[in-house]
Chains A and B, each alone.
Chain A
Amino acid sequence: MASQRRKRGENLFVRYLILGAWALFCLMPVLWFLSIGLRPRVEIITPQPIYWPTFSLDAWHMIWEDWPMAKYLRNSILAIFGSVLIDLVLGIPAAYSLARYEYRGRDDIAFYILSTRMMAPAIVAIPIFFLFRNAGLLDTIWALMLIYAAINLSFVTWIIRSYMLDIPKELEDAARTDGASDMRILWEIIIPAILPGIITASVIAMIFAINEFLFTLLIASTPNAYTMSVALANFTGGSDGVIYNAIALVAFLAFVPVFLVVVAIQKHLSRGLTMGAVKGG
């Protein structure tokens, strides 16, 4: 039976050829990242590309000693964690409302929240630039925090709503007959039950916030509020040209923690990425 199945099944050679080829294509630029980050600057742009560079920690010293990379890192972390916190504070009650109550306009509200995800950053960039300028928030981490929170709020709300819909209503009804208030039920029953969903939503919001580029570029116009992502783009300035080894090394250092966190939640990733639309995997 087993051999018959294999014969009728697809060709394993083709399967591993295709998967292997894509894996190679995925990982080659990553090796290239590392090799750029760990070579001296003179070996980056040469008449003939150098495939076996001399090992060097030039970039490492440069980012910590010549640049306030620690400050950019701090800016990134503050803006990102702050924004995720705002999203959870606003998103959890909203998700609970959309998941648990029947009321007029509910589906329209849910769709409105979803549709903000479709707003191109470029459309709202100009008004938001002036909004923050008039509020005196330009060039501050606060502005970044608020904008990241806005970008991710739709995602966070929809993901959390999807997890809430999975909780059997009987669980709540039992608590309600015991006299618990709605807020207590949310706090003591729902939130613990959907913790994986909250973590997934937070991680995805974090990734989008790290990646955000256009707003950060406009809002953070001096090193005062630079985050890692935009600081990288500004390694190109000056008479030095683009400092590629520093860019590559910073990107790699930022990649490692994100990778570890994502591997930890990978079971929930597909559900998070589709805002809760896909549950499998």
Chain B
Amino acid sequence: MSNPSLPDAGATAVAPAMATQRPRPRRRNKRLKAWFPYLLVAPAVIYLFLITLYPGVYAIIQSFHAVKFGPWQPVGFANYVKLFNDHQFWGALWNTFVIGSISLTLQCLIALTLAFYAYRDPWVQGWRIIFLVPMLFMPSAVAFIFKLAFLDARVVSDLLIRIGLIDGNLAIQSSIWMSRGLLIIADVWQWTPFLFIIFVAALQGQDEEVEEAARLDGASWAAIFWNISLPLMKPVIAVALILRGIDITTMFTNVFIITKGGPAFGTETISYFIYRTGFKFFNFGYASAASVVMLIITIIIAQLVVKRAFVSVRT
């Protein structure tokens, strides 16, 4: 880059008359300058293309084939037709929606309540450190520990019996709703802190003078929170819920370890459905069709919701 400009700089210093030579190298420089930002961002984008676009195209092509062992057999839309008639697929979508929405709603309400009480507290740092703890355990280990406490060692049943709330052991494994509840409790325990930390930061970042003014006018903390803080927090809440929502809808680890999708496929999420058809039954073409449907849903949601939320919070 510096080589072509060197003789040019010398030339202009010697004779101003030769200034006509100047534009050429500078134009080259300019062209490089125009490309420079693209060059900087290109490696990251190419890397992400490899890991998202390539698999996306691969999955689309594979979804039109019957792929078990051996060569791919083209089957047209057969995988999709089968998929739309597969009640286990629709069940998985429904389970993902039910478990995800209940879990996300609970986490949001709990995190908002905790943030409301904690952000003005003198020990807010301490609360934050305590509440953070569950988030930092490996999810696979958390899943095992919840499985042990609720199912294998029945500690939770035992405690509830001691308190006198129930008479016998809970039959969690034979109840769809109790199994879903177990997944929800594990998720709420581990990931409510994620929202809490974000909400507390958002509340602390708000203008104290507005609050003070409202206080002097005699407004209660609850009224201030409800009428001033919460509306201001809306964009932040949207971003936080989107990020959490992405992780909840792709829930896999807890299903894999705690319930295996049972009983009666009642806790099978869409991720587990794809895993099961692909890597348990080696029906890759069929699993790819499910992946493509999920991909389309993801793209629609990304364009409609995520783009707007992230833009609104930045401005």
* A111-B307, A116-B52, A131-B55 known; A211+B298 contact, CB < 8 A: no
A-B contacts, 12 listed (Cβ < 8 Å): A19-B114, A27-B133, A121-B250, A121-B252, A124-B56, A126-B62, A128-B51, A150-B51, A250-B141, A270-B198, A277-B313, A279-B201
Give the most central of A48, A113, A233: most B CB within 10 Å: A233
Tell me the minimal C-beta distance from A102 to chain B in angstroms.
Answer: 8
What total of A-B pairs shows CB separation below 8 Å? 303
* A120-B249, A211-B139, A250-B141 known; A281+B200 contact, CB < 8 A: yes
Interface size on B, as a range, is: 35 or more
Is B275's CB under 8 angstroms from A214's CB?
A: yes
Stretch of A62-70, A90-98, A169-177 on the interface side: A90-98
Is A131's CB under 8 angstroms from B201's CB?
A: no
Is A112's CB under 8 angstroms from B136's CB?
A: no
Which chain B positions have C-beta within 8 A of A149? Answer: 47
Q: Which A residues are within 8 Å of any B CB, using their own CB?
A: 5, 8-10, 14-15, 18-19, 22-23, 25-27, 29-30, 32-33, 36, 44-46, 48-49, 89-91, 93-94, 96-98, 100-101, 103, 106, 109, 111-128, 130-131, 146-147, 149-150, 153-154, 157, 182, 207, 210-211, 213-214, 217-218, 228-230, 232-233, 242, 244, 247-248, 250-251, 254-255, 258-259, 262-263, 266, 269-271, 273-275, 277-281
Which chain B positions have C-beta within 8 A of A182? Answer: 36
* A10-B222, A123-B295, A274-B240 known; A29+B47 contact, CB < 8 A: no
Which chain A positions have C-beta within 8 A of B54? Answer: 127, 131
Is B140's CB under 8 angstroms from A232's CB?
A: yes
Give the most central of A5, A90, A146, A218: most B CB within 10 Å: A90
> Which residues of chain B from 5 to 62 have a CB within 8 Å of any chain A CB?
34, 36-38, 40-41, 43-45, 47-48, 50-52, 54-56, 58-59, 62
The reply on B102 being an interface residue by CB < 8 A is no
Cα–Cα distance between A275 and B194 once the two chains are bound (Å): 13
Is A214's CB under 8 angstroms from B253's CB?
A: yes
Give the most central of A96, A115, A149, A271: most B CB within 10 Å: A115
Cα–Cα distance between A98 and B250 once the two chains are bound (Å): 29
Is B294's CB under 8 angstroms from A19's CB?
A: no
Closest chain B residue to A268, Cβ basis: B201
The reply on B270 being an interface residue by CB < 8 A is yes
The reply on B110 being an interface residue by CB < 8 A is yes
The reply on B310 being an interface residue by CB < 8 A is yes
Cα–Cα distance between A154 and B274 once the two chains are bound (Å): 24
Is A125's CB under 8 angstroms from B148's CB?
A: no
Which chain A positions have C-beta within 8 A of B109? Answer: none
Is B40's CB under 8 angstroms from A93's CB?
A: yes
Is A27's CB under 8 angstroms from B130's CB?
A: yes
Is B205's CB under 8 angstroms from A278's CB?
A: yes
Cα–Cα distance between A95 and B165 once the two chains are bound (Å): 55
* A90-B47, A213-B252 known; A271+B275 contact, CB < 8 A: no
The reply on B213 being an interface residue by CB < 8 A is no
Closest chain B residue to A276, Cβ basis: B314
Is B221's CB under 8 angstroms from A90's CB?
A: no
Tell me the minimal C-beta distance from B72 to chain A in angstroms.
Answer: 11
B144: which of A48, A91, A242 is its contact (CB, 8 Å)?
A242
A112: which of B36, B48, B200, B220 is its contact (CB, 8 Å)?
B48
Is A19's CB under 8 angstroms from B144's CB?
A: no
Cα–Cα distance between A106 and B34 once the two chains are bound (Å): 13
